[in-house]
């Protein structure tokens, strides 16, 4: 063997290959003899030495599924005096199967008749196994991606599509076969959902920035059949081990429903549902902006506070449905008369607010008179009834000298009060002197009345049942505060609570209620019974109570009563309140588990840190906590993780018409689902009729409160 042959042999062996040499007899491959090198012999399971082997013996070593193909391929190459490339399996003596690959050329000794094949053979078992594993993993990945709900698209480094899962096919309307190789922007075009402006594709951004990026919160995708769906999510680069980027993966989902619901929730956060006007919260934001502009640029604006005269007569005579219809019609008429810069809002039951932007007081007075005249001329007909109403309007100037939004609202409110006090159906412009007299006359009278009531023990506790709907037989009552005047008439808290809040008397009233409830428990029958320790079972193990069975459930309530006691926002800021509660529990031997403290969502958020501290302290000793008016702020869900309450009381404005209002039903369903996930029980208030009760029961609400399940009564009679 000369040097050239030696070098060639060494190169072949270094590459893991062996010589594949066989003779051909009479042009038939089956009659040939194979000459194995030592390495080649070892590949087919023979001793590692140079060996001659008849082809038939070699064929017996070939895997039975590959024999015919190997024989046909080699014979055709001999017949054609050509070369062949072939992969096949051999089965070794110990049963092991190995993959071999042969590359050979047919040689003709006399230039015409084939007499030999010569080539190379190599063991490719590792390569085949690796390819099999890769294919298997790719298939598993494809199956996995086809099972998820999000659309997944992968591209190469130029944005051409390489793969789409089944969800991406359904969302885009493109099959993966038809989409393969196309530009991602053709298959998944993105536009701004507001004005349909084309957006730079998230995949391009990802490839350009070489980092994960998110789709615009206003992105929409145009499908192949022309539909437009709202989408959101991310694109991330696909990197190889060396760090280079070979493409991008886009993960997206259809959020059309969620975005529509979010838009509805946003609208409800700033608008009155009945009239479609701005609500008080949004109106006060506009006033705040106007005040800011006045202080910056010395502009003047006007604030109108409108109270509809004789509106209560409509409700009392024709019912609340008539009152609602009146408000809707009147609101539409007033809105049509507003200037583009004006803001009209509903502030309460029959109270409206108007912000006249960039308006001098003389001009504002004329506009106010026009509004008053419009309301006066408005004639409302309902069934057989016909009503004339009026408007008492208070007006206050917003200028650089104005102090705050609350002071402006108070000023306009007090001017409105004077308009009503002076005969109704008139406009009164705020004057500091008028306001001082009115405020002292009205609110100081209540302050004196409340102090006298405290000294003379004229307060009374009422209660209203909170009925279980989910098979929980716990007896639950909300405690209500009432004031009895000198004539024996019961005064509801909405008459005196505003004065108590303004003059910081709420902590005093809250303490009176807490002490009175503890004393009631101490002297009630069964106060020495076992503490209330009901486990909050998962909803899967509870039995739903049919609507017709609510009364029987109330009759079956067992164990000590759980009393819900309202706490004001001012009391949550009272550092001594917790110690007072603990002291009253100890003196009256009250089990803390019989008390559920109820705080409004608004008060909790306004005093978040104080609320967290107080809730934690009360929970630690065994009290329950309830979050009232839940959903009214519409920032509610974000705070639940920081407020470990036991109950959510859904805001009554969503419950009252839930049987006929699909938006309100969707909102209550959302609240219920979140509460269920977190493990908080839900209470629906303002459940006034059987249809409302049926709907909230279907949704999965745990408790109901309202005339459909029980009316308020004196607390002493609540236990009989």
Instruction: Using alpha carbons, select from 520, 526, 538, 651 the residue that is nearest to residue 595.
Output: 520
Task: Name, of 56-70, 111-125, 431-445, 576-590, the range with top average pLDDT.
Answer: 576-590
pLDDT bucket at 425, cuts 50 / 70 / 90: very high
Q: Residue 144 has what pLDDT?
A: 60
CA distance 546 to 607: 39
Between the alpha carbon of residue 407 and those of residues 430, 502, 659, the distances in Å are: 12, 12, 39
Q: Are the CB atoms for 121 and 111 separated by under 8 Å?
A: no
Share of the chain above pLDDT 90, in %: 36
pLDDT bucket at 431, cuts 50 / 70 / 90: confident
Q: Residue 638 has what pLDDT?
A: 67
pLDDT tens per residue across span 212-223 = 888 777 889 999
Evaluate if residue 559 carries a pLDDT over 90: no
Alpha helix segments (H runs only) across 26-66: 38-43, 55-61
Write down the residue that tokens 């391009």 correspond to: 204
Other beta carbons within 10 Å of 602? 14
pLDDT bucket at 484, cuts 50 / 70 / 90: confident
pLDDT tens per residue across span 130-176 = 787 776 676 766 666 666 778 899 999 999 999 998 889 989 999 98
Provide the β-strand partners of residue 686.
Answer: none
Q: Residue 25 has what pLDDT?
A: 82
pLDDT tens per residue across span 201-211 = 999 999 999 89
- Average pLDDT over the chain, rounded to an integer: 84
Radius of gyration of the chain (CA): 42
Instruction: Using alpha carbons, select from 587, 447, 589 the residue that is nearest to residue 508.
Output: 447
| 445 φ/ψ angles, rounded to the nearest 5 degrees | -60, -40
- Judging by beta carbons within 10 Å of its beta carbon (0-12, 13-18, 19+), is residue 149 exposed, middle or buried? exposed
Return the higher-pLDDT residue of 706 and 31: 706
Q: Indicate if the alpha-carbon torsion angle 520, 525, 526, 528 is positive or negative.
A: positive
Q: Indicate if the alpha-carbon torsion angle 502, 505, 507, 510 is positive or negative.
A: negative
Domains of the chain: 3-123 (3.30.450.20), 140-254 (3.30.450.20), 271-430 (3.30.70.270), 453-526+548-718 (3.20.20.450)
Instruction: Using alpha carbons, select from 614, 612, 660, 656 the residue that is nearest to residue 632.
Output: 656
Evaluate if residue 402 carries a pLDDT over 60: yes
Q: Indicate if the alpha-carbon torsion angle 450, 455, 457, 462 is positive or negative.
A: positive
- Give the three-state DSSP class for 713: strand
| 551 φ/ψ angles, rounded to the nearest 5 degrees | -65, -35
Q: Residue 528 has what pLDDT?
A: 45
Evaluate if residue 432 carries a pLDDT over 70: yes
Residues whose CB is less than 8 angstroms from the CB of residue 354 and which lie 6 or more positions away in sequence, other chains included = 303, 304, 306, 338, 342, 343, 344, 345, 368, 371
Evaluate if residue 539 carries a pLDDT over 50: no
- Give the three-state DSSP class for 183: strand
- Give the three-state DSSP class for 686: coil
CA distance 685 to 654: 9
Q: Are the CB atoms for 653 and 273 separated by under 8 Å?
A: yes
Between the alpha carbon of residue 68 and those of residues 30, 59, 61, 62, 73, the distances in Å are: 12, 9, 13, 10, 8
pLDDT bucket at 646, cuts 50 / 70 / 90: very high
CA distance 172 to 165: 11
Residues whose CB is less than 8 angstroms from the CB of residue 590 and which lie 6 or more positions away in sequence, other chains included = 518, 521, 522, 527, 584
pTM over cut 0.75: no
Q: Are the CB atoms for 279 and 346 separated by under 8 Å?
A: yes
- Give the three-state DSSP class for 194: coil
Q: Are the CB atoms for 683 and 703 separated by under 8 Å?
A: yes
Q: Are the CB atoms for 335 and 277 separated by under 8 Å?
A: yes
- Give the three-state DSSP class for 448: helix
């Amino acid at each position: 063997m000369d040097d050239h042959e030696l070098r060639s042999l060494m190169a072949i062996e270094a590459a893991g290959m062996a010589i594949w040499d066989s003779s051909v007899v009479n042009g038939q491959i089956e009659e040939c003899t194979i000459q194995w090198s030592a390495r080649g012999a070892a590949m087919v399971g023979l001793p590692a030495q140079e060996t001659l082997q008849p082809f038939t013996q070699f064929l017996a070593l070939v895997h039975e599924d590959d024999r015919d193909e190997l024989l046909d391929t080699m014979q055709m190459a001999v017949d054609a005096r050509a070369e062949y490339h072939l992969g096949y399996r051999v089965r070794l003596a110990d049963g092991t199967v190995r993959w071999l690959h042969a590359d050979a050329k047919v040689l003709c000794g006399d230039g015409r008749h084939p007499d030999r094949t010569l080539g190379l053979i190599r063991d490719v078992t590792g390569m085949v196994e690796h390819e099999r594993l890769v294919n298997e993993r790719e298939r598993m990945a494809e199956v996995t991606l086809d099972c998820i709900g999000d659309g997944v698209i992968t591209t190469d480094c130029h944005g051409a599509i390489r793969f789409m899962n089944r969800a991406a096919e359904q969302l885009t309307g493109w099959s993966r076969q038809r989409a393969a190789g196309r530009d991602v922007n053709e298959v998944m075009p993105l536009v701004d959902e507001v004005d349909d402006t084309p957006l730079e594709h998230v995949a391009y951004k990802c490839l350009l920035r070489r980092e994960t990026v998110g789709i615009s919160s206003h992105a929409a995708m145009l499908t192949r059949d022309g539909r437009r769906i709202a989408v959101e999510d991310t694109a991330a680069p696909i990197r190889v081990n060396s760090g280079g980027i070979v493409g991008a993966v886009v993960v997206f989902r259809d959020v059309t429903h969620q975005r529509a619901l979010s838009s509805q929730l946003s609208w409800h956060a700033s608008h009155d549902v009945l009239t479609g006007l701005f609500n008080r919260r949004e109106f006060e934001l506009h006033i705040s902006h106007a005040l800011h502009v006045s202080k910056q640029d010395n502009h003047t604006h006007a604030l109108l506070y409108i109270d509809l005269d004789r509106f209560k007569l409509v409700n009392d005579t024709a019912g609340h449905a008539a009152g609602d219809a009146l408000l809707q019609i009147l609101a539409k008429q007033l809105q049509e008369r507003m200037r583009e810069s004006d803001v009209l809002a509903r502030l309460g039951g029959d109270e409206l607010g108007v912000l006249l932007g960039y308006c001098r007081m003389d001009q504002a007075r004329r506009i106010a008179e026009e509004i008053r005249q419009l309301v006066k001329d408005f004639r409302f007909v309902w069934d057989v009834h016909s009503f004339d109403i009026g408007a008492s309007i208070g007006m206050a100037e917003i200028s650089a000298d104005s102090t705050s939004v609350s002071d402006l609202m108070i000023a306009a409110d007090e001017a409105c009060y004077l308009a009503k006090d002076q005969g109704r159906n008139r406009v009164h412009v705020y004057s500091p002197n008028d306001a001082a007299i009115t405020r002292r006359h009205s609110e100081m009278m209540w302050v004196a009345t409340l102090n006298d009531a405290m000294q003379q023990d004229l307060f009374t506790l009422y209660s209203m049942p909170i009925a279980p709907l989910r098979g929980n037989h716990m007896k639950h009552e909300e405690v209500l505060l009432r004031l009895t005047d000198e004539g024996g008439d019961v005064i509801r808290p909405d008459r005196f609570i505003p004065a108590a809040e303004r003059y910081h008397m709420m902590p005093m009233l809250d303490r009176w209620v807490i002490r009175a409830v503890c004393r009631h428990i101490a002297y009630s029958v069964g106060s020495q019974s076992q503490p209330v320790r009901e486990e909050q079972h998962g909803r899967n193990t509870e039995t739903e109570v049919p609507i017709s069975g609510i009364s029987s459930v109330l009759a079956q309530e067992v164990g000590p009563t759980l009393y819900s006691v309202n706490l004001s926002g001012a009391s949550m800021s009272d550092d001594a309140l917790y110690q007072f509660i603990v002291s009253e529990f100890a003196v009256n031997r009250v089990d803390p588990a019989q008390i559920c403290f109820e705080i409004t969502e608004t008060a909790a958020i306004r005093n978040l840190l104080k609320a967290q501290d107080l809730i934690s302290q009360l929970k630690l000793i065994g009290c329950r906590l309830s979050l009232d008016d839940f959903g009214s702020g519409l920032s509610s869900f974000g705070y639940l993780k920081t407020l470990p309450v036991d109950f959510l009381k859904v805001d009554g404005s969503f419950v009252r018409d839930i049987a006929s209002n699909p938006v309100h039903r969707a909102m209550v369903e959302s609240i219920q689902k979140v509460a269920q996930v977190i493990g908080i029980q839900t209470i629906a208030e303002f459940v006034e009729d059987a249809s409302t009760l049926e709907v909230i029961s279907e949704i999965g609400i745990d408790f109901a409160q309202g005339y459909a399940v029980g009316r308020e009564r004196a607390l002493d009679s609540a236990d009989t």
